Structure 1
């Protein structure tokens, strides 16, 4: 493509959403991506016939922006069970959503994870999160999630046994310093939809967006070295000019291309994948560590969620550990020893497939980070930035920021 109107740097979800919105407005776009596939942090790799998402990720079917820009039916979403299984007191307990599984939920009202009052407070939190319009959540007073849960009256048993491991798996923040706005957003999404993965892995989401772009818009294997004014210089020395440039890379790369742009604090996670001859848990459950000790935060048998994640006759287990370790072998030994306590000698038959250490997995959603909730996407005339670090740290946030950047570009071009 010669003489594009807009250059978008980075084909993650934000960049794809931005390019899509601009093209729908008949703007000529060149989308540059350094990697061999679109998606940014949303990637899936194939290993020995297993589908390994790059870190445990889910798509929430209630995302409003996703309903606008994605063909959810074509993704063939496979749903997690509403609720979780919690390892506590030496055994697994089922904590079901009482509104979606009323019989199972009623049975858990007197279970060991929290008190009867805690279960009622979960319903209260759910109703608070669902009240008002979607945008209202981002305008409410803020405090840390930990403070918010205390104000609602949750017992320490409920926080440590269920809420902390569940929310830590979403926030990647064990201390629960995450803003209460983000907590309410997450509960709103879980209350009005399902946690899912596409049948063919999370890669299907960016692949679908990329497939809708016209031919020659997306250039892979094209790293950008510099951005200045309305120009970019590629790593091979080629220079490309346009009327506007949108930087849609992850935050640290964006800061390198845009000197002076602050880099948000990033939360880290390590995901270990194991193959097993049979699943340790039957059904599409998220399994939480409710003991308050150990290195494992949660796990999921991905082949129980979508059978395509593993070859026939095998199970795929994804284990998440908050933070990253410099000793991956030592971490793997600790994880297997801990899970042997949970599932017994069968763990000896598990085979390690791959470990993903992700130090920049997710922008931290602290109180300061979400004030304002939607950060500016226009930096100067003709220069823009987008990504989940400009909105909420989620697929929803990435898609919204891409659309917002496209709308800002169109206003500049019209002016």
Structure 2
């Protein structure tokens, strides 16, 4: 490696933090610059009044390979959801779960009328098939939309519309199921092999841990500092920020997609967004709804797409006498916070006619216009790679793979490895 090699990392999201750690562990003098006051990118947590508010409804898939490699799950003190979901419609709720991992819901799932017996058998068949396929096999070959894929596989319209649409609408922010089937297959396999969970102190614990690990390895993390431009200069590169220039042997651009496109000029960085609005409601713990640690899916309409009793999953998210409900609407909504709250009250009252929701209090609204980039069939063929920019400039972001926490962390590692390899061969 070039003696005293220096690398600048632009952006303190998951990808940038992972890249910084691997660069530092390889002996590189690395400094990460993050424009916000804290690291995290799209993965952030706000605390107020005894509540824990994540920036939108976010969860960690515990079977993600990059998550298992880069994170210490024990220190995160994960709180796991129960497999499956509660399917809700006016006056009726039913449980549909994985009988192999949730024996307590076996009877309810077997007699669930929202899907057919054939659907349940096909689910087990698909689980066995995907368990045998590698990541490379899933993300290569022919592609189609999730909706088309499920119908051609033989699933009923009831399964597609009442379960898959709201459940994968929550994962892909696309209730129409027009997203690539590759995303469905990979996440379906991940759900079969692990759980979804949140850290006890909120999803922001993930970037905090990554930052701690990067700094422990020797990286410098500077917040409130934005890389405004990147210019190639001879064998190196110059990053301009806050009125000064920083010369380095390489730069890893790990910003949000729009900023990454602006900094590198790479037009293939995807900027077409899928957004959502997540509202948080306080509700008396004594009146807790009965879905437990499961998602509540809206089978009868789109507003809201799903509801979660976060306090049932992670009691640390709210004061002892209160439960915190997370309610997610898909897309960038034009309604006011109050109008969305009215829709929430209407939905909950119809699903739980035996409850009164007069005490339901809206305590926070998180509008996330860019939660994911769009992933239609064939989307991966047009994505940039970590080496797409010319010269000693590398991309790190989920937009080099697919929109997920796993891809973000994986891209950080690959960008660091690419920079390390190139620095080693330079004279």
Please state which band the TM-score falls in when normalised by the shorter chain. Answer: over 0.9
Please report how far the alpha carbon of residue 378 of structure 1 lies from its aligned counterpart in structure 2 after TM superposition.
3.9
**Gaps in structure 2 of 5+ consecutive residues:** none
TM-score, structure 2 as length reference: 0.92
Please report how far the alpha carbon of residue 365 of structure 1 lies from its aligned counterpart in structure 2 after TM superposition.
1.9
Please report how far the alpha carbon of residue 26 of structure 1 lies from its aligned counterpart in structure 2 after TM superposition.
0.6
SS of match in other structure, 1:370: helix
Q: Give me the whole-angstrom Cα distance separating, in 1, the residues matched to 2:384 and 2:61.
A: 20
Which residue pairs with 1:56 in the alignment?
A: 57
SS of match in other structure, 1:21: helix
Q: Give me the whole-angstrom Cα distance separating, in 1, the residues matched to 2:209 and 2:140.
A: 32
Which residue pairs with 1:280 in the alignment?
A: 289
Residues 294 and 338 of structure 1 are in contact (CA less than 8 Å); yes or no, is this contact kept in structure 2?
no
Work out which of the residue numbers 223, 227, 234 in structure 1 matches 2:226: 223
Which residue pairs with 2:88 in the alignment?
A: 87
SS of match in other structure, 1:121: helix
Which residue pairs with 2:132 in the alignment?
A: 131
Q: Give me the whole-angstrom Cα distance separating, in 2, the residues matched to 1:114 and 1:282.
A: 19
1:337 aligns with 2:346: yes
1:319 aligns with 2:327: yes
Residues 8 and 32 of structure 1 are in contact (CA less than 8 Å); yes or no, is this contact kept in structure 2?
yes
Q: Deviations over 1:10-47 (max 9, x none)?
A: 01000001111111111110100011111100000012
After TM superposition, the structure 1 = structure 2 runs for residues 374-393 of structure 1, keeping only pairs within 5 Å, are: 375-393=385-403
Please report how far the alpha carbon of residue 280 of structure 1 lies from its aligned counterpart in structure 2 after TM superposition.
2.0
Q: Give me the whole-angstrom Cα distance separating, in 2, the residues matched to 1:377 and 1:124.
A: 39
Which residue pairs with 1:243 in the alignment?
A: 249
Q: Give me the whole-angstrom Cα distance separating, in 1, the residues matched to 2:72 and 2:5.
A: 28
Which residue pairs with 2:111 in the alignment?
A: 110
Which residue pairs with 1:297 in the alignment?
A: 305
Residues 276 and 367 of structure 2 are in contact (CA less than 8 Å); yes or no, is this contact kept in structure 1?
yes
Residues 375 and 390 of structure 1 are in contact (CA less than 8 Å); yes or no, is this contact kept in structure 2?
yes
Which residue pairs with 1:409 in the alignment?
A: 419
SS of match in other structure, 1:317: strand
What is the number of equivalent residue pairs in this alignment?
Answer: 411
Q: Deviations over 1:129-180 (max 9, x none)?
A: 2113333221242111111001111111111111111011000011111111
Please report how far the alpha carbon of residue 66 of structure 1 lies from its aligned counterpart in structure 2 after TM superposition.
1.2
Residues 20 and 219 of structure 2 are in contact (CA less than 8 Å); yes or no, is this contact kept in structure 1?
no
SS of match in other structure, 1:56: coil
Q: Give me the whole-angstrom Cα distance separating, in 1, the residues matched to 2:200 and 2:304.
A: 26
After TM superposition, the structure 1 = structure 2 runs for residues 167-246 of structure 1, keeping only pairs within 5 Å, are: 167-214=168-215, 217-229=220-232, 230-234=237-241, 236-246=242-252
SS of match in other structure, 2:362: strand
SS of match in other structure, 1:267: strand
**Gaps in structure 1 of 5+ consecutive residues:** none
SS of match in other structure, 1:316: strand
Q: Deviations over 1:105-124 (max 9, x none)?
A: 34422321111111111112
Residues 21 and 403 of structure 1 are in contact (CA less than 8 Å); yes or no, is this contact kept in structure 2?
yes
Change (3 A) 1:4 1:100: same
Residues 129 and 184 of structure 1 are in contact (CA less than 8 Å); yes or no, is this contact kept in structure 2?
yes
Work out which of the residue numbers 296, 308, 311 in structure 1 matches 2:316: 308
Change (3 A) 1:294 1:137: closer
Please report how far the alpha carbon of residue 294 of structure 1 lies from its aligned counterpart in structure 2 after TM superposition.
4.0
Please report how far the alpha carbon of residue 4 of structure 1 lies from its aligned counterpart in structure 2 after TM superposition.
6.5
Q: Give me the whole-angstrom Cα distance separating, in 1, the residues matched to 2:332 and 2:357.
A: 23
Q: Give me the whole-angstrom Cα distance separating, in 1, the residues matched to 2:144 and 2:68.
A: 30
Residues 83 and 96 of structure 1 are in contact (CA less than 8 Å); yes or no, is this contact kept in structure 2?
yes
TM-score, structure 1 as length reference: 0.95
Change (3 A) 1:354 1:152: same
Residues 278 and 366 of structure 2 are in contact (CA less than 8 Å); yes or no, is this contact kept in structure 1?
yes
Residues 377 and 401 of structure 1 are in contact (CA less than 8 Å); yes or no, is this contact kept in structure 2?
no
After TM superposition, the structure 1 = structure 2 runs for residues 142-153 of structure 1, keeping only pairs within 5 Å, are: 142-153=143-154
Change (3 A) 1:297 1:226: same
Change (3 A) 1:100 1:191: same
